[in-house]
Structure 1
Amino acid sequence: MSSDDEGFELFDVDASIPTIVPRTTFVPQDKKQDDEQLRFKKKKDDEQQQEEEQIPEDFKAMVQRMPTVNPKRPRQTPTICEVPKDLAEGNKGAYTPKVVCIGPLFDSKDKTASMLRLENYKCYCVNRLIVRARRQPATATVNGTSSEWSAALHSPLLEECSDEMKQIVPQVRASYSYSSISSSKHTNDEQVATKMLLDGCFILYRLLKVARIPKKSLGGGEGNSGNEDADWTRSFSRRGVWGTVTHDLLLLSNQVPFLVLRKLFQHLGSNSGDGDDGVLVNNALQLFSALHPHRLHEEPIASDKVHHLLHLFYLSVDLPQSPSPTRQQQQQQGEAMLRVPELMWWAPSAKELEAAGVHIRASNVATSFLDVRFHRGVLHIPPLQLFDYSETLFRNLIAFEHTYPDTPGRITTYAIFMDCLLKTDDDVRLLRRRQVLVNHMDGKKKYTTREFFSSLCAEARTSANRNNLVDVMEAVVSYKSGRWPRWRAALVTNPWLSTSLAASAVLLALTVLQTFYTAIPYYKPTK
């Protein structure tokens, strides 16, 4: 082999054809890439195996025990949640039912004797609704209602209602926060459906009765029998307990989806001459009409937009839906927030505003108790009446705003605004004189009027972009900072200064008069 062939060797591809190739065997480019990918994959597998070896075995077991998400559960924002702990710490009793448990969240709690009595009453409501829906002329009583249960006649309707509840169990579960309904004893679909049937019929019976009682007082309506109205005292010896039931129906965690009521109404209510499911909204609003705050506008509320009874009450007392703001309005709102970031959660007290020349008046043309306005030095605030149940009602409305993101947060903002106005007892007396606040609360209760709003705001939180009163706060503070309001405030707060100013004004007037009468003889001499 010559020197030119050094570094090469013979490689027999074929025995008869000797080939000269370099000692470094040639490898195709694509084969190199495949080898690199294999080495990279092997390296990653080794690293992953090392990481898995570092994970404790007890952690792996804990992960394996974690519950999997129910594939039937629709993707939607829960509307019924347990009250956040930071809010519940203010007053746990305000979020707990007194006489009736609705929904699965309180069912596992210890029930009182009153609650157990109403649990039995729920079965009575199912019976009455089914008998009423399948009323037959041949079995009707004098008042037009049959009180007898017939298995052949009524059992099929009961099965229809039960099957309907089973079909909507996925939507029902999606309405509750996952952790809340998972912690209750109603874990399987059969139990959830039964609970919805009992609680839904209880509420539906109350709402339909609300519509029949006014008809009876007017002497009309076929279903106004004395037998059906006798249940006012069937479960309790006193009628006043139903007011407590109404309050329990407005607790955040004591709710069933409004879908349950609509489905049951289709089977048990619409065949009895009560109209479409819009009657549920009207009857519920009539049931809550005695509560304060109450509805001040007549904007219709669609039943398919209501999540539960507390949400319906929230919509009724909230400001009416306004058209979506234009791009220019959104820009102006954003600029206003940037101009006064320090004023978003602060407003002067009522006495400070009065001293600065701001007049506070009760608004009689408001569309909601939240409709606070400021115009030409006058702060218009709708009247608000406070009762012993007001704290429970306001706390649950605020808790709903904290747990459901699709709310404007106006009630939380209103409570913060009123807390700013009521810093002292003098502020409270001023708003009472202006008939803005009317206190019907028991004087022996825990809170005074001033402490009422302070307690609501102690745990309440909201974001800056949810402050619908930012324009009012900015206008009030801007007016208060003006020249004349500042002078007026200085005069009111300093009596010596106001006295000296009045004396100076009188002295100036006397000097002018003296000068005038001294100059008259010069221009008009006496004859």
Structure 2
Amino acid sequence: MLEALVFLVRKFKEGHSMGQSAGREAYTSSGNENQNGQLVNDIKTMFERSKAPSVECHINRVPNHLRMVNAKAYTPMFISIGPFHHFNEKLQTAEKHKVKYVKSFMERNEVETNLESLVSTIRGMEESIYYCYEETISFSMHSDAFVKMILMDAIFIIELFLRYDNNSMKSDDPILGSQWMYPIMMLDLVLLENQLPFFVIEKLFNLAFPNHSNSLPLIEHTFKFFDCFNLQKMEPKDVKIDHFTDLYRTFYRLPPSSQPKGRTDTDRLKYSATQLKEAGVKFKVNPKKFLLDLNFDSKKGVLDMPCLRLYDQTEAFFRNVMALEQFLDEENQCITEYFIFLDFLINTTEDVYLLCNNGIVVNYLGDNEAAKHVVNNLNINISCPNINANYSGICKDLNAFYEKRCHKYMATLWHDYLNTPWRIASTIAAFVLLVLTFIQTVFSILH
């Protein structure tokens, strides 16, 4: 059936082209058959590749509508991991470091395997690794080149973790001994497009250290390496991750027992932080809570929020996590929901100042305008139609608190008459004048 369809299309195109130009000659019958056969095989190959088997994880390219907002946030600066940026010429210098790290790994006395066995292991998982990646870019690589790339990248990461865990930050180490290279690489390893499936790295690690007699499990090495991100000091026990972007997201997620249930698209916060303050809302920081653990006490009017620290790299870290969440279901878009709520609170630099003054935001970006820009731009082109029931409830309660008549009058008083020192002074002066005028009027009546 497919062969007949291809033949008819080709014949139609031949007839059309002959009508356009009499100088063109028709294909020979044998030539048609050869070309048709090749085309049929190509289409069948496409069909086969579209039947991706179920895989343990998915590693996606960042969608264009997100990349166009800030392409640098999704692009590695120093090292390429996996196929998406493997051919980037600007990252080729790091390939020399990979070779040195892999050579060092194979020379370790405790490694209980050889290079042939490691290659064979990757070869056996080749198809499942292929299908972890969203696009067919990996299919453009020759099988040997793909296996070599995965092997080199995985062993490089293992050797990096081992060196870090053994405090091998020596001056002669090309990465850990560099003041600029190490922090940049930390960011590169968390980028969504710069990932290896964790099960691949773990498989090679377990093959090299089958008894773990002289080494910790890989997940513990991983936690130690990324410890600076683990602000809540989560334990690696029973933690399962797809890759390092997923790990970074895991560090900020609420414990399973505390994760809110249910979604709603009806309640959005209508008022910014300064507007809520004018209505009497008090902002309180709770540094011991998870970042996403928010609470509003409507009786006391206290919004309880953990501390968020904004560094130069913060935007890139969270952009990649939010890009990852775009491929997950609504129940798993927790980081996105948090920044949507924060975007509700921050509309002006005064909102940033208020949150910084209360310790909820710690701004290392230089000025409040930069912090406002980061928070407001994180949600551009982000899709999150529904937010979780807890955040929705907080939005509803804050809106109701502001819209109470007494709180609304208080907000108007603060906004119109008490929002600057000059207005406060003029308001007091006007009030004093009004009182003196009233007293004078009373005395006039009495006398």
Q: Same fold (TM over 0.5)?
A: yes
Change (3 A) 1:57 1:162: farther
The counterpart of 1:460, out of the listed 382, 387, 390, is 382
Counterpart for residue 17 of structure 2 = none
Written as runs of structure 1 = structure 2, the 5 A alignment for 1:427-438 is 427-438=351-362
Deviation at 1:458, TM superposition (A): 1.5
Deviation at 1:442, TM superposition (A): 4.8
Written as runs of structure 1 = structure 2, the 5 A alignment for 1:108-507 is 108-109=87-88, 111-112=89-90, 115-134=91-110, 157-182=114-139, 185-188=140-143, 190-213=144-167, 229-230=169-170, 233-234=173-174, 238-270=178-210, 273-275=213-215, 277=217, 280-291=218-229, 294-296=230-232, 298=234, 300=236, 302=238, 305-322=240-257, 333=262, 337=264, 341=266, 343-344=267-268, 346-366=269-289, 368-376=290-298, 377-405=301-329, 408-442=332-366, 448-464=370-386, 469-495=391-417
Give, in whole Å, the separation in 2 of the partners of 1:506 and 1:275: 80
Counterpart for residue 72 of structure 2 = 93
Give, in whole Å, the separation in 2 of the partners of 1:133 and 1:468: 53
Structure possessing the higher radius of gyration over alpha carbons: 1
What whole-Å deviation, never above 9, does each CA across 1:262-297 have from its counterpart, x for those lacking one?
A: 1111122455644453xx223323322334xx4315
Is the Cα–Cα contact under 8 Å of residues 330 and 384 in structure 2 kept in the other structure? Answer: no
Q: Give SS of 2:47's match.
A: coil
Is the Cα–Cα contact under 8 Å of residues 410 and 467 in structure 1 kept in the other structure? Answer: no
Quick one: which amino acid aligns to residue 411 of structure 1? Answer: I
Give, in whole Å, the separation in 2 of the partners of 1:347 and 1:410: 20
Give, in whole Å, the separation in 1 of the partners of 2:137 and 2:340: 29
Change (3 A) 1:274 1:427: farther
Give, in whole Å, the separation in 2 of the partners of 1:406 and 1:197: 34
Q: Give SS of 1:259's match.
A: helix
Is the Cα–Cα contact under 8 Å of residues 81 and 253 in structure 1 kept in the other structure? Answer: yes
Change (3 A) 1:73 1:162: farther
Give, in whole Å, the separation in 2 of the partners of 1:414 and 1:261: 31
Change (3 A) 1:56 1:474: farther
Is the Cα–Cα contact under 8 Å of residues 305 and 360 in structure 2 kept in the other structure? Answer: yes
Change (3 A) 1:108 1:64: same
1:107 equivalenced with 2:29 (yes/no):
no
Is the Cα–Cα contact under 8 Å of residues 372 and 380 in structure 1 kept in the other structure? Answer: yes
Quick one: which amino acid aligns to residue 290 of structure 1? Answer: C
Change (3 A) 1:472 1:300: farther
Written as runs of structure 1 = structure 2, the 5 A alignment for 1:56-75 is 65-66=42-43, 67-70=46-49, 73-75=52-54
Is the Cα–Cα contact under 8 Å of residues 170 and 176 in structure 2 kept in the other structure? Answer: no
Quick one: which amino acid aligns to residue 147 of structure 2? Answer: A
Give, in whole Å, the separation in 2 of the partners of 1:57 and 1:312: 54
Deviation at 1:494, TM superposition (A): 3.8
Is the Cα–Cα contact under 8 Å of residues 171 and 178 in structure 2 kept in the other structure? Answer: no
Give, in whole Å, the separation in 2 of the partners of 1:486 and 1:257: 53
Change (3 A) 1:465 1:419: closer
Give, in whole Å, the separation in 1 of the partners of 2:353 and 2:363: 11
Give, in whole Å, the separation in 1 of the partners of 2:338 and 2:255: 16
Stretch of structure 1 that moved more, 353-362 or 265-274: 265-274
Is the Cα–Cα contact under 8 Å of residues 319 and 378 in structure 2 kept in the other structure? Answer: yes
Give, in whole Å, the separation in 2 of the partners of 1:428 and 1:255: 34
Give, in whole Å, the separation in 1 of the partners of 2:122 and 2:54: 19
Q: Give SS of 1:418's match.
A: helix
Change (3 A) 1:454 1:465: closer
Is the Cα–Cα contact under 8 Å of residues 223 and 236 in structure 2 kept in the other structure? Answer: no
Q: What TM-score does the superposition give when structure 1 sets the normalisation length?
A: 0.67
Q: Give SS of 2:304's match.
A: strand
Counterpart for residue 20 of structure 2 = none
Give, in whole Å, the separation in 2 of the partners of 1:73 and 1:389: 35
Q: Give SS of 1:177's match.
A: coil
Aligned length: 403
Deviation at 1:407, TM superposition (A): 6.2
Counterpart for residue 27 of structure 2 = none
Identity across matched positions, percent: 23
Give, in whole Å, the separation in 1 of the partners of 2:259 and 2:283: 30
Deviation at 1:401, TM superposition (A): 0.7
Structure 2: which 5+ runs fail to align?
15-34, 418-422, 440-447
Quick one: which amino acid aligns to residue 188 of structure 2? Answer: D
Counterpart for residue 443 of structure 2 = none
What whole-Å deviation, never above 9, does each CA across 1:175-210 have from its counterpart, x for those lacking one?
A: 21143434xx4342x322211110001111111222
What whole-Å deviation, never above 9, does each CA across 1:115-164 have from its counterpart, x for those lacking one?
A: 333212212222222221447xxxxxxxxxxxxxxxxxx9x611111111
Q: What TM-score does the superposition give when structure 2 sets the normalisation length?
A: 0.79
